[in-house]
Amino acid sequence: MTEQQFQTTVRAGDREITVPTGLFLGGKFTSGSESETFAVVDASTGQEFASVASATTSDANTAMDNAAAAQKTWGETSPMERSELLYKIFELIKENTDDLALLQSLELGRALKDSVGEVAYSAEFFRWFSQQAMAITGDYRVAPKGDSRVVVSHQPVGPVLAITPWNFPLAMIARKVAPALAAGCTIVVKPAQMTPLSALYLANLMREAGVPEGVVQILPTKSAKNVSVLLDDDRLRKFTFTGSTEVGQSLASKAMEKTMRVSLELGGNAPFVVLEDADMDKAVSAAMEAKMRGAGQVCIAANRFLVHESLAAEFTQRVVKEVSEMTMGPGVQEGLDVGAMVSEEERDKVRDLVEGAVKEGAKVEHGGVEELENLRETHPDLDPEGFWFPPTVLSGVKPDAEIANTEIFGPVLAIQTFADAEEGLELANNTPFGLAGYVCGENLKETLQFAEKMECGMVAVNRGVLSDASAPFGGVKASGVGREGGFEGISEFLEPRYISLEG
C-alpha cells in the first residue's frame, strides 16, 4: 500500500488541509497490523470528519524494536547535528502555522486564536532545545583526597515512551519530543485518541526535517493499553506522561517495576488569589487569561478564584461583564473567543459540576445550565449536536463544594472569598494538588512572600499566563514529578556517567 492511502484532506475554515491518518512507524505512515481505525470528531458538530489507523500491541512492539535499533546511532550523533535538526523542525512548524492551528481547532473545538498560540508555543520547544542540545555539560575535577580525578559525562537515557493528553495535542508532544531528541534519545509517542491529527501532521514535518527512521514514532490507538504495554519491555528506559493523576500514578507504578526514569505532569486545582491591595484591572485581565483560554480546558487553568471579601463584589461584576462579551462558535472561525468543548462527556462533566455547585449554595452570575438549555434560542447559529458550554461565572462557592475540589476543565469561573491573607493562603494550599497558582497584589514584598508560600510548582504574579519553553514546567504534591522545559527539561532524558581516573 502507498502512503497516499494513509492521508486525507479535511476542510477547516476556508482551507483544505492534507493530513496523514496512518501510524508513523519506522519512518513511514502505515496501517495498524489489524487494519483497525477509529473516528475523529468535529467538536462543533459532533460529526466524524476523519478516520485514523489504530495501533495494536504488535505495532507497539514493532515501534519498540525500531526505537531500540535506532538508539545507538542516534545517541552518537553530534550535538550540532541534533541542534540543526531541531531548529529545522522549529522552522517547519512556523511555516505551517495556519494548517496546524486550524487542524487543532477542528479536532479539539478550541477557538482559533488559542490554537495559533499553541502552535507558537510548540515551536519554541524545538528552538529552545536546539540550543540546549549543544549545551550539555560534564565535569572534570580533582577528588578531595587528591588521589584521583572525577570525570562526569551525560549519556542519553535510552528509548522513551511518551503518552500525551487531548487538550494540547501539539505542545504536549513538542515538550517531550524536543528534549528527548536533544539528549540523543529515541521516542515512541501515543497521542490522545480524540486529537491525533495534529500529532500525525507534526510527524510528517519531523520526517521532512530529516529525523531518521525509528527515532520518533507516533502511534494513535483506540486502546491506550495497546501502547502502554511497552512499560513491560526491558529496553524502554524512560516514561513521560501528561494526564490524570489516577492514570499517571498507575502507569508510573508499572514503569518502576523496570526501574526506569519517570516524569509525570498530573492533575491540578489551581488557586487564583486576589489580595486586598490588588490592582483590579490587572486582576480581571489575568483572571480571564488564566481561566478562559482554551475554554478552560487547560491543565494550568485557574480553578478556584479566591478573592478578598472587600473586592469580591467588584471583581464579580467586572468578570461577568468580560464573560458576557465573549463570542462562542466553531473554533475554526476567525474572531471567536470560545469554541466547543472536546466531547460530549467532557461537556457533561462541567454541566454536572455547575449543577452541583448551585445545589450547594453557589449563585449563577452569568451562563450556567439554564443558558446551556436555551442555546438553540440564544445561539441559533450553533450546531445543536456540538459540545457547547456557555462561559459561566459562579459566586458564593463554598470551599468544601465539589466544584472547588475538582478540576473543572471548562469555561467556568467559580468565586470564593476570604477575610485576610492568612485565610487566603490556607484556602489556596488546601488541596492535594500543586501544579499552578496565581496571585494578584500590589505590595511587591507581601505578594512575593505569598507566592513563595503557595504549594505549587509554578506561580504567576499579576498575570494569567505562565507557560514558557525556557522555564521549568511541572508540579508538586499529587500534580507530578519532574520538569519539562527550561534548563531542567533536558536532564530528564540524560544519565550522568562518572569515571574515576587514576592520579
Residues 6+ apart with CB under 8 A from 87: 126, 127, 130
* Backbone angles phi and psi of 351, in degrees to 5: -55, -45
Give the residue among 408, 340, 348 at the shortest CA–CA distance from 105: 340
**Burial of 143 (C-beta count, 10 Å sphere; 0-12/13-18/19+):** exposed
Host H or E run for residue 368: helix 368-373
**Burial of 56 (C-beta count, 10 Å sphere; 0-12/13-18/19+):** buried
Active-site residue 3, yes or no?
Answer: no
Q: Which of 107, 118, 124, 265 is catalytic?
A: 265
Q: DSSP secondary structure string, 476-498?
A: EETTEES-BSTTTGGGGGEEEEE
Query: Could you count the other beta carbons within 10 Å of the beta carbon of residue 77?
Result: 16
d(CA 90, CA 69): 26
Burial 266-302 (b: 16+ CB within 10 A, else e): bbbbbbbbbbbebeeebbbbbbbbbbbbbbbbbbbbb
Query: Which residues pair with residue 437 across a beta bridge?
Result: 459
User: Strand locations in 47-158, DSSP E?
Assistant: 47-53, 139-142, 148-156
Q: Would you please indicate which residues are annotated as catalytic (active-site) residues?
A: 265
